[in-house]
Amino acid sequence: MTDYATLTQLKNGNLEISLGKDGFEEIADLRADGKRTDDDILLSLIENYFGNGYNNLTGMVGLTDSLIIGYGWDLTDEGNWELIEGSQTWWFPNYMVENPLETLINEGKVIFKKGE
């Protein structure tokens, strides 16, 4: 099993994405083909969490162009995401001036802020 990245819910409610031992190589491979944006690459690193409670809610909730990661959301029969009790949402507030993938590469982790 590959170890690209790990998601950790922090005590303050934020979400930490940590780069795994196979992450650097995967980023290099995905960037080499030139077909993916950095946001697409970051989502690809954590793809194994989607379907296991986590969801990529980017462009589907909120009024932002930031990546949005959810946990515990429900997908209705109509194809809409629904916030249910206990659901959580995280976003990257500095998305306009800071690239979350570059932060992950340079610091080994990136923090997504818990949505209010």
Residues 46-98: pLDDT tens digits? Answer: 999 998 889 999 988 888 899 999 999 888 899 888 888 889 999 999 999 99
Kindly tell me if the per-residue pLDDT of 1 is higher than 90.
Answer: no
Q: Is the dihedral of CA 54, 14, 112, 81 positive or negative?
A: positive
What does the pLDDT average to over 26-53?
94
pLDDT for res 68: 94
Query: Does this model's pTM top 0.85?
Result: yes
Amino acid at 114: K
In three-state form (DSSP H/G/I as H, E/B as E, the rest C), the secondary structure along 22-85 is CHHHHHHHHHHCCCCCHHHHHHHHCHHHECCCEEECCCCCCCCCCCEEEECCEECCCCCEECCC
Nearest to 72 by CA among 62, 61, 80, 83: 83
Using DSSP's 3-state secondary structure scheme, residue 19 falls into strand
